[in-house]
Amino acid sequence: MAVWIGIMLAFVAMITWGFSDLVTKLSLDKESKWKVLFLGQLMGGLLILLVAVFFVDFRILASKGIYYLFILGLVNLGGVYTFYKSMKEKGVALTSPIVNSWALITIALGLIFYKEAISSLQWLAVILIIGGVFVVLLKKTGKIRFDSSLIYAVISMVFWGLFFFLLKEPNLIFGALIVASSVKLITSFFSIPILIREKVNPFKIKYNILFYIVLLAIFDGVGFSAFNFALKYSPVSIASIVISATPIVSVTLGIVVLKEKLSLRQKIAIIAVIAGLILVSI
């Protein structure tokens, strides 16, 4: 029964993260990246914190491992910003598959630091993902040139790979809700100096855009929390297979709702990336 709970939670994370990408793009089309980042992370953190009040003993924050939360907050800031920059310029359908390929980085870090072994099937998955991402990055010219906007998606992928690699220990120390709420609130706090430098007033915002950002905070917050709890109830391998299908949701929404256009080359490359993401989790 516990495994099925984990699978359902992973499915919830997959769906909500897919819709999170959609409302992120809608928000970024109307507002600055830093304003969306600050408000989205702040609201998401407060939402999870509100739930945590009923289930968590906050005295655990006195634990020695609190520095993990600040490290994760900094890594999250880099991941979210570069994700938003690519999303704003290139859209959901192209950005999401690249960013969600963070498993490559997590696997590489596992090989380096924990001497983990990967199967032949996972090596095939790695080749599919790298090949697909490479093709998506290529510009449609006679020469081999990379799309500079999508390079930010690759940087975001690296940040997220590092983020999820570092996530295990703090989850064990503090639990899913404290980690999710703290990381988001710390991320919003770290973005304040940049808001000041850029002279951005995050609270000066139209109501219709605020509505999108609230949806972003809800979808992302629910997805993050559901993913953390999924790892508690089911093996990482099973939860990861479900989560790896997130780009299917986001790419579909980008094409159907936002009417984003992809070339045949890009479609094939994205299919290769998604297939690789699913295989790498098996």
The chain-wide mean pLDDT, for the chain, equals 84
Q: If you search the block for the tokens 């936002």, which residue do you land on? A: 258
At 238, the pLDDT band (50, 70, 90 cuts) reads low
pLDDT in tens, 59-118: 888 777 788 999 999 999 999 999 999 999 888 988 988 888 887 887 788 777 766 666
What's the 3-state SS for 180-244? Answer: HHHHHHHHHHHCHHHHHHCCCCCCCCCHHHHHHHHHHHHHHHHHHHHHHHHHHHCCHHHHHHHHC
The predicted model gives 222-239 an average pLDDT of 74
- Return the exposure string of 133-162: e unless at least 16 CB atoms fall within 10 Å of the residue's CB, then b: beebbbeeeeeeeebebbebbbbbbbbbbb
pLDDT over 70, % of the chain:
89
DSSP string, 54-100: TT--GGGGGSGGGHHHHHHHHHHHHHHHHHHHHHHHH-HHHHHHHHT
pTM for the full predicted model: 0.85
The residue to which tokens 């999170």 are assigned: 20
Summarize the confidence of residues 251-258 as an average pLDDT. Answer: 89
Average of per-residue pLDDT across 173-195 = 92
Quick one: pLDDT band at residue 54, thresholds 50, 70, 90? confident
Lowest mean pLDDT among 68-72, 231-235, 273-277: 231-235
pLDDT at 127 over 90: no
Length of the chain: 282
* Residue pLDDT, tens place only, 29-46: 989 999 999 999 999 999
Confidence band (pLDDT; 50, 70, 90) for 280?
low
CA distance 221 to 225: 6
Domain ranges of the chain: 2-280
How confident is the model at residue 53, as a pLDDT?
86
